[in-house]
Chains A and B, each alone.
Chain A
Amino acid sequence: MNMRPGGELATRPLHFIWMADCSGSMAVDGKIQSLNTAIKEAIPNMQTVADENPNAQVLVRAIKFSSGAQWHVSQPTEVADFKWDDLTAEGVTDMGRALSLVAEQLAIPPMTERALPPVLVLISDGQPTDDYASGLKAVMEQPWGRKAVRIAIAIGEDADTEVLQRFIGNPELKPLQANNPESLVKYIKWVSTAVLKSASSPASQTLDSATPGANVPIPVLPESASSSAADDVW
């Protein structure tokens, strides 16, 4: 017998979508392996954050893009059940196609009317080879696309930070520049914990944590990762 009536605290879904560049250049210097490792390392942290959060039902998906784009994990998956199969790198950088796929899924339906802001994480090491602008336009035409927390991680010096900046759509928030596997691990961990937390049940607010122009307070990174070329080991 239950000691008290009622159910769990009501939650809203929080959709979290990884968008990973799997173009041929990601095979160079083990970048794709580093990305696989970073995401696998981040999953337990993500599970802890979701577990400690009573307000959100965290659902994770992933898209890969190279020559064309494809859902890597197509079903919104409870983070407790989320598993990462390693990506391999080959082909070009059809980022626009990936954005279009995301846009389709951000429409209502399949999205529910009530939710927490989705989190979209775009990870790329190069220049888009297709019409990224029309893909981005499709995302931004969706109300959930405009409301989404959009984070971009640039891997190495060749990433097109201008395109990533347009994806973010907020000049106050810059793409994260990951020039070595350590900083990639750190950024992936940050988006899958601090940003995830902030999108659902923002952590304790501090004086310096607010991001102007954002509809979700983007937390500060635990420490600013070095982005100098001296650290570049790719």
Chain B
Amino acid sequence: MSYILKPGQQVRTETSGMTCEVSKFLGGGGQGEVYAAVVGGKAVALKWYYPASATAEQRAALEILAAMSAPSPKFLWPSELASAPGVGDYGYIMPLREARYRSIVDMMKRRIEPSFRALATAGLELAHSFLQLHARGLCYRDISFGNAFFDPHTGEVLICDNDNVTVDTRAQGAVYGTPRFMAPEIVRGDAVPSAQTDLFSLSVLLFYMFMMHHPLEGKREAAIRCLDLPAMRKLYGTEPLFIFDPADDANAPDATHQKNATIFWSIYPRFLRELFTKAFTEGLSDPQHGRVRESNWRGVMVRLRDSIIYCGHCKAENFYDADTLAATVSSGRGQNAGACWSCKRPLSLPPRIRIARSEVMLNHDAHLFPHHVDDERRYDFGQPLAEVTRHPTELNVWGLKNLSRQTWSATTARGELKDVAPGRSVTLARGTRINFGRAEGEITF
């Protein structure tokens, strides 16, 4: 094989003037090749451009990016440019991606099997990361399968290929996006990439991750024989129609070719389905104001994590859906949590805690985090404030253990007030209220 750079070859970093030695080829893309390399004893990644892509514009864009710090450590951000004497093209240095981060393509091919909790965490991290990027006035331009990676066990994400990032609305960036992910107005040629079109691509990526299907590939796609550029322009550009559009079922999923969409759609709670519906109805017709923003996705992903329940029979993850539950209760059918998607047997609900607007399932492995008891706190799953525990001697009694440094006060349904010091637990009983300081929660069954 002929690669641009060879193992052992040395290039020079432009800002720090250090030697960068190529270790091995990692992969090739449309614009260049990525190598593992070593700079000052530290393992890094080195992207080197093909001559056709090593333009003056790209270099200028990279110089701007390298001068900024990364929006967050989730971005494998260009740290500095690299060049070699006598070679016209150039590259840049960025952090290496750890092997535990896998591509979304691996999930689409079912080579990795994340839990719903890991998936919701990945959705949250993606939304949060792109919010941080956009908040800096930057635009990613090419959110797609190839550019985001995640740890299937934890849901932590990494965002790669940041060299196409430009200042929002600046039109000179070369990349227009990846088909199937590009906003319809870009496909039609009416717009160039911007933070608004990034929002559309993010919605497509999330839909793919949660439904294992594309939001616009319904009957109309199934009816197309040759899926070529003119067909794609129609499907994704001039006549886009959401497969679950509540007002128009002309593009509903095809029962033979598009099973995943139907299977997954029915599993998720209504609040997630509603946000996807907004993304691909208003988000199609009103690019400026109708798109789902990152903060909306973030909120819904956190709520989705909190809604996970386990099947008492087969242990599969299912979702609590307050909206559906309320409907069954009000229609006199009692508290019907539905059936497990996996074993089809009836689901029963665990105790729950309602804190302000959120409701958290108190499964055997549940944790409460700072954001649950304080709206001002960021989403941080590293430091739980509480965890569900079992009573040491009475195994049928479950409690909520205080992992924080503050004493809580709990009020039982009978009105008894008790202190719950750090390290102590309060029994999960119907009607018990727990004051966490800034917020109060109530246990429900």
Which residues of chain B have C-beta atoms less than 8 A from A3's C-beta?
113-116, 316-317
- A53 in contact with B225 (CB, 8 Å): no
Interface string of A178-210 (1 = CB under 8 A from B): 000000011000000110000001111111100
User: Are the C-beta atoms of B108 and A54 separated by less than 8 Å?
Assistant: yes
The yes or no answer to B341 lying at the interface (CB within 8 A) is: yes
Contacts of A52 in B (CB 8 A): 103, 105, 146
Complex interface: chain A residues within 8 A of B226 (CB): 115-117, 143-144, 147, 215
- Given the complex of chains A and B, what is the CA–CA distance between A113 and B222 in angstroms? 10
| Cβ contact within 8 Å between A9 and B51 | no
| Interface flag for B179 (CB, 8 Å) | yes
Do B115 and A143 touch across chains, with their CB atoms under 8 A apart?
no
Given A3-B116, A3-B317, A114-B142 contact (CB < 8 Å): no
> Nearest Cβ in chain A — how far from B367, in angstroms?
20
**A137 → chain B, closest Cβ, in Å?**
20
Q: For chain B, residues 210 to 230, give those with C-beta under 8 angstroms from any C-beta of chain A.
A: 212-213, 217, 222, 224-230
* Interface status of B257 (Cβ within 8 A of chain A): yes
Complex contacts, A113 vs chain B, CB 8 Å: 225
Q: Is B16 an interface residue (CB 8 A)?
A: no
- Flag if B52 contacts A201 (CB, 8 Å): no
**Residues A147 and B228 in contact, CB atoms below 8 Å apart:** yes
Bound complex: CA A14 to CA B217 (Å): 18
Chain A residues near B229 (CB, 8 Å)? Answer: 202, 214-217
Determine the chain B residues whose CB is within 8 A of the CB of A215 once the complex forms. 226, 228-230
Nearest Cβ distance between residue A77 and chain B, in whole angstroms? Answer: 19
Q: Tell me the chain A residues, 1-28 only, with Cβ under 8 Å from chain B.
A: 1-10, 12
- Which residues of B are found within 8 Å of A193, using beta-carbon distances? 28
Contacts of A216 in B (CB 8 A): 228-229
* B contact set with A: CB distance below 8 Å: 1-2, 27-31, 50-52, 103, 105, 108-110, 113-116, 119, 142, 144-146, 164, 174-180, 182, 208, 212-213, 217, 222, 224-230, 257-260, 263-264, 267, 314-317, 341-342
Give me the 9 closest cross-chain CB pairs, A-B, nearest first: A54-B108, A9-B108, A215-B228, A6-B260, A203-B30, A205-B176, A222-B50, A147-B226, A206-B174
- CB within 8 A of B174: which of A44, A194, A203, A207? A207
List the B residue with the shortest CB-CB distance to A55. Answer: B180
Q: How far is the CA of A128 from the CA of B336 in the complex (A)?
A: 74
The answer on a CB contact under 8 Å between B109 and A8 is yes
CA distance A44 to B230 in the complex (A): 31
Residues on the B chain within 8 Å of A204, using CB? 30-31, 142, 144, 164, 175-178
Max chain A CB contacts within 10 Å: which of B30, B103, B175?
Answer: B30
**A220: Cβ under 8 A from any B Cβ:** yes
A202 to B146, CA, bound (A): 12
Please classify how large the interface on chain A is, using the bins under 10, 10 to 19, 20 to 34, 35 or more: 35 or more
Q: A219: CB under 8 A from chain B?
A: yes
Alpha-carbon separation in the docked complex, A217 to B144 (Å): 18
23 CB-based A-B contacts, threshold 8 Å = A2-B113, A3-B113, A3-B115, A3-B316, A3-B317, A4-B114, A4-B264, A5-B263, A9-B208, A41-B1, A48-B27, A52-B105, A113-B225, A114-B257, A115-B226, A116-B228, A203-B30, A204-B176, A206-B30, A206-B174, A215-B226, A219-B30, A223-B51
Q: How far is the CA of A65 from the CA of B306 in the complex (A)?
A: 64
Neighbour of A223 across the interface among B50, B224, B227, B314, CB < 8 A: B50
A194, B30: Cβ atoms closer than 8 Å: yes
Give the distance to chain B from A118, nearest Cβ to Cβ, in Å.
9
Q: Chain A: which residue is nearest B119 at the CB level?
A: A4
Residues of chain A lying within 8 A (CB to CB) of residue B263: 5-6
Determine whether the beta carbon of B227 is less than 8 Å from that of A12.
Answer: yes
Main SS of chain B's interface residues?
loop
Q: Which residues of A contact B164 (CB under 8 A)?
A: 204
Question: A205–B179 contact, CB under 8 A?
Answer: yes
A41 to chain B: closest residue by CB: B1
Nearest chain A residue, comparing its CB with the CB of B50: A222
Cβ contacts under 8 Å, B342 to chain A: 1-2, 5
Q: Which residue of A lies closest to B178 (CB)?
A: A204
Closest B residue to A56 by beta carbon equals B227
Q: With A7-B110, A222-B51, A223-B50 as known contacts, state yes or no: A116 contacts B227, CB within 8 Å.
A: yes
- CB distance B175 to A206 under 8 Å? yes
Q: A48 contacts which chain B residues (CB < 8 A)?
A: 27
Could you tell me if A9 and B113 are in contact, using CB atoms closer than 8 angstroms? no
Instruction: Assess the A220–B52 pair: CB atoms within 8 A.
Output: yes
Contact (Cβ within 8 A) B264 A6: yes
Complex: how many Å from CA A40 to CA B131?
Answer: 45
Chain B residues whose C-beta falls within 8 Å of the C-beta of A223 in the assembled complex = 50-52
Distance of A222 Cα from B317 Cα, bound (Å): 47
Nearest A residue to B145, CB-CB: A54
* Chain A neighbourhood of B119, CB < 8 A: 4
Q: What does the 1/0 interface line of A49-70 toward B look like (CB < 8 Å)? A: 0001111000000000000000
CA A201 – CA B108 in complex, angstroms? 14
In whole Å, how far is B172's beta carbon from the nearest beta carbon of chain A? Answer: 9
Cβ contact within 8 Å between B109 and A54: yes
- In whole angstroms, what is the CA distance A44 to B342 when docked? 38
**Beta-carbon contact of A8 and B108 below 8 Å:** yes
Contact A10 B228 (CB under 8 A): no
CB closest residue in chain A, given B103: A52
CB-based nearest B residue for A118: B226
Q: Which chain A residues border B174 with CB–CB below 8 Å?
A: 206-208
- Partner among B27, B31, B212, B314 whose Cβ is within 8 Å of the Cβ of A9: B212
Min CB–CB distance B236 → chain A (angstroms) = 11
A48 to B113: give the CA distance in the assembly, Å: 21
Query: Smallest CB-CB separation from A219: which chain B residue?
Result: B30
- Give the chain B neighbours of A217 by CB distance below 8 A: 229
CB-CB < 8 A to B257: which residues of A? 10, 114
B178: chain A residues at CB < 8 Å are 201-205
- Complex-state Cα separation, A117 to B142, whole angstroms: 24
Chain A proximity of B154: nearest CB distance (Å): 14
Bound-state CA distance A6–B179 (Å) is 24
